[in-house]
Amino acid sequence: MALSTGSLLAGRYEITAPIAVGGMGEVWKARDQILDRIVAAKVLKSEFTGDPSFLARFRNEARHTAGLTHPNIASVYDYGETVDDTGTQQLAFLVMEFVEGQPLVSILHDEGALPVDWTLHVVSQSADGLSAAHRAGVVHRDIKPGNLMVRPDGVVKLTDFGIAQARDATPLTRTGMVVGTAQYLSPEQAQGMEVNAASDVYSLGVVAYECLTGARPFDGASQVAIALAHINRPPPPLPSHVPAAVRLLVERALAKDPADRFPDGGAFAEAVRRVAAGGTLAPVVGPGTMPTQIVAADALENSRTQVISVTDATAVAGVGAVGPRTGAVAPMPPLHAADDDEEWGPEEEPGDRRRGGRAKWAWLAAALALVLLLGGGAWWLLGSGDRGRDDQAGATPTPSASSTAPTGLFLDPDLFIGEPADAVEAELTAAGLTVTQVPADDDVLADVEENLAAGDVAGLDPEGVQAAPGDTVTLYVAEEAYSPEGDEVPAPATSEAPTAEPTREPTPTP
């Protein structure tokens, strides 16, 4: 580690205890010696500090969060770049508030499905936080339970703006790149299309669905299956005990067409409060609206919830106790805070198998790290081409009235390489594409940056384009195990235990 207990960060922050360690950074409890207060310090690992794209995203998180002041958004105190105690490693750090609380993912793990009033409480406050971001021209792009902190008094804090996109800002990713976490992606996000405030509304709708059912609407054995489900399948219907107005609320947030959703966090929050007060919503009828009661059998199979393992924890949130807004739903009963000596463990969500090079995407961080982990946890860039390039068109915070539901499938190599070719072929065929498999030659394998098992996809043609039903895709398949470094390839894992599924990250530029 670049720091240790007793280190003095930037001549001001005395490191007192580790909170979490991830693949890209460290989170420490610290004492601000000038203001004499306890803070949380998020430190980017030195190997990433030297990479311009990673450092830009870390600065992006600091800039976006520091510019947002709202009771439902976790605050940033300070940002800086310095050296470690030895004077040999460059460090970039973010200093945030430190308060007790739990990530929503931990509460869902402990409680399963939440009562309707609790769900409305969480969603209304989360949407209020998004409203402040959207008014400032910022789209979060990674709304999920791990990025929603719940304090013991029930106040919800929105965290982790590391992959947020600001209106008119210098873009950090390229058009066609998918940024976010698979189970919570909007259909337009899943295809690498431009995102806007309505994309955050969709992701929060997924969270609402999960709170009400204890299961996410779309899960699958691979990221391809999950992305296709977001694009093409309606969610399974909500349980019969969910009131009709709440059902319509969630269905509208999960509309495939951005124009059919609530346009931004503010509109979503107001609708939640109206429903909580006994009001109703008019159903949206349009080409992007999902059916209420019609669901395919395979969609039901993919909605199952797998076991996750996560510890309750002290986490970063906001300052002081802030009650709900006037007219908000009744607050949740107080939640028990974690013991100070409770051991941290990784957040585990059901996800894709990981082996070889894909292990570099896994965070070994606790639930708190999801508040502080770098650049949206770790960035899941399913985009084409150079992973370190930063030239995407900026996002627009509000949807266009002419927005239409996305069609087709974006052929992103990062989404397919390393997956079993037969499974990829089945999923692409189900999407209406014609697939052929050919052995991968040395030229194809030379571009692969991760370990492959025999039968894995090593490349595809075409790539980085939007494929329409009827198009032909060629999969280049590894005939034997392959390692880009020539090392022995580890045997595929056989454990049935779920693995951590954070936001995926790009490979750092050398």
Secondary structure class of 274 (helix, strand, coil)? helix
- Kindly write down the DSSP assignment for every residue of 192-249, as one continuous string: TPPP-HHHHHHHHHHHHHHHHHSS-S---SSHHHHHHHHHH-PPPPPPTTS-HHHHHH
Dihedral sign, CA of 127, 309, 232, 462?
positive
| Catalytic annotation, pick one of 51, 128, 142, 456 | 142
* 156, β-bridge pairs: 150
CA angle centred on 228, ends 375 and 443, rounded to 5° = 75
Residue 397 to residue 226: CA distance in whole angstroms: 25
| Residues in Cβ contact with 323 at an 8 Å cutoff, skipping those fewer than 6 apart | 155, 331
**Tokens at 147, concatenated:** 């990025």
Peptide bond preceding 462 in cis form (omega within 30 of 0):
yes
Residue 203 to residue 216: CA distance in whole angstroms: 11
DSSP state of 402: T
Task: Please compute, for residue 93, the number of CA atoms within 13 A of its CA located in the half-sphere on the CB side.
Answer: 31
Please answer whether residues 321 and 155 qualify as being in contact, where contact means their C-beta atoms are separated by less than 8 angstroms. Answer: yes
Dihedral sign, CA of 217, 221, 227, 229?
negative
Phi, psi of 151 (to 5 degrees): -75, 165
Q: Which residue has the tokens 């993919």?
A: 302
Closest Cα to residue 220, out of 493, 362, 427? 427
Phi, psi of 117 (to 5 degrees): -65, -35
Residue type, 190: A
Q: Which residue has the tokens 């979503």?
A: 268
Residue 146 to residue 323: CA distance in whole angstroms: 22
Q: Is residue 142 among the annotated active site residues? A: yes
Residue 62 to residue 56: CA distance in whole angstroms: 10
CA angle centred on 217, ends 214 and 220, rounded to 5° = 105
Residue type, 232: N
Please answer whether residues 91 and 9 qualify as being in contact, where contact means their C-beta atoms are separated by less than 8 angstroms. Answer: yes
Among all residues, which ones are annotated catalytic? Answer: 142
